[in-house]
Amino acid sequence: MNDQKDLTLIIRSQFPIVVVETHEELRFLGLVERIANLEEQALFVWSVANGLRRHGKPDSTPQTNQLFDALRHIDKSPQNGIFVLLDAHPFMDDPVIRRLIREISLEYHKVPRTLIFVSPRIEMPPELVRKSARFELTVTDVNDIRTILQEEGELWTRTQSTPLRGKQETVDALTAHLAGMCRDDARRLIRQVIRDDGMITPADVERVLRFKQDALMKEGALSLELDSGSFQNVAGLNNLKRWLDLRRNVFIGKTNGAIVDTPKGVLLLGVQGAGKSMAAKAIAGGWSLPLLRLDFGALYNKFHGETERNLREALKSAEALSPCVLWIDEIEKGITVDGSGGSDGGVSGRVLGTLLTWMAERRTKVFLVATANDVSRLPPELLRKGRFDEIFFVDLPSGLVRREIFRLHLERRRINAADFDLDALAQASDGFSGAEIEQAIVSAIYEALAADAGLNAEHVMQELRRTRPLSVVRAEDVAALRAWAAERTVSAD
């Protein structure tokens, strides 16, 4: 009903042009047909295959298969009403087409005709944008999927005389992963799951998730991180781990009936190499959720408005894959604090605005994890309370944490950590980040192999002595970052 209410409001507001980007063409046509009947307006549909015809009538208007001819007919006709134009996007570069659309819109006060352009993707020319309104069909939620699942389950029971089987937690997982998909796609997948063997199994859930990922992530800005990791392999960060443990059940929907706000996300600020990226991956692994990585570099496009559009599409895909964790690595590289727009023509500022709007308005279960190294480039709008649930500072590891980091990296390489004086290594690596400790071990292994000897503590010690960590090379920057974070963030450890 929200879709019907919203689209009716747009039509009643007398927008001459409405833009609808959707793959659910039949669903939208059913919606606009109901509205046209209730509003007592004539409804016409055009496609290049069938030409212009009144909805529900078999005959088309002669010689209107070409969009130019259809628009010319609409322009010259005294007929008012709603005109739905399907897949008109390939013709929008034609200046004659654009002028015809504009002339029809300018005559709205004389002959009220609403042109609705429906395509999977369409961008209106600048001269038409001000007379246009955008409308989006609501995505399927968990209740919609439960209804479809119940309908298909009852159909299976009637036809096969056997009940649908499956554990409740598996059914809940299937329902959660199907939420956000097109209704037709969701129904087809549910039918495939049910009619295979009359059971809903974990393998069915995995198959549905793979389909959803393949369907929604074909464009390059979003990527699925398969190695999401675990906090068992992350040393330290105890405050962050506890904070996440307290919110996990709420995020996945286990609230015991209590009304609790769904966690939105965290900003992980800290020294390079201190473990922010590893923590982001571990959140998804610990919560058993897909991890999506948003690449700002893949968003940027030289054409005006396309970068922001790419970001909106990426965020929409992330919402369709909810529940999930969305990771934006080094977020400061994709936004700017320069209100003038700097040398990029204001693109970074518009990207920031698009991101902030989404953060404020999203209702889906997308847990945002942003990481940043350079606080000076983070705009105040991003840091204010409410954007993130919390801002954690990931500092250089303490002695005890460095000891654990050595143990984890040695055992990951099947090297017995008990053969090493971990306390001595931790003391010698004061000021080193986790990434620098790992690199010291890797370099030490190469040295040992070159000497045809087994790795020992002295090899690692020599690498530590040869290395100048970032805390020394960029001592002033690290000190400034720590000073800023001391009063403004929560320690992750």
- Global pTM? 0.68
- The pLDDT tens digits for 182-198 are 788 888 889 988 888 88
In CATH terms, the fold of domain 2-135 is Rossmann fold (3.40.50)
d(CA 373, CA 332) in angstroms, rounded, equals: 8
Burial classification of residue 252, based on how many CB atoms lie within 10 Å of its CB (0-12 exposed, 13-18 middle, 19 or more buried): middle
- Cα–Cα distances in angstroms (integers) from residue 232 to residues 130, 237, 282, in the given order: 54, 11, 9
Which token pair is 437?
């400790």
The full DSSP string for 39-59 is TT--EEEEETTTEEEETT-SP
DSSP state of 236: S
Which of the listed CATH numbers 3.40.50.300, 3.90.1150.10, 1.10.150.530, 3.30.1510.10 matches domain 224-394?
Answer: 3.40.50.300
Which candidate, 377, 385, 407, places its Cα nearest to that of 481? Answer: 377
| Architecture of the domain spanning 399-473 | Orthogonal Bundle (1.10)
The predicted pLDDT at position 338 comes to 53
Q: What percent of the chain has pLDDT over 90?
A: 35
| Percentages of the chain per state (helix, strand, coil), in multiples of 5 | 50, 15, 35
The predicted pLDDT at position 340 comes to 44
200: how many CB neighbours lie within 10 A of its CB?
A: 25
Span 285-299, average pLDDT:
81
Q: Which residues of 259-281 are buried (b: 16+ CB within 10 A; e: fewer)?
A: eeebbbbbbbbbbbbbbbbbbbb
The predicted pLDDT at position 337 comes to 52
Element (H, E) at 85: strand 81-86
Helix (H, G, I), strand (E, B), or coil: what is residue 198? Answer: coil
pLDDT of residue 403 exceeding 50, the answer is yes
Span 382-389, average pLDDT:
84
- The pLDDT tens digits for 218-275 are 556 777 776 667 777 788 888 898 999 888 888 877 766 667 788 899 999 988 888 8
Give me the chain's average pLDDT, please: 86
Residue 341: pLDDT band (50, 70, 90) is very low
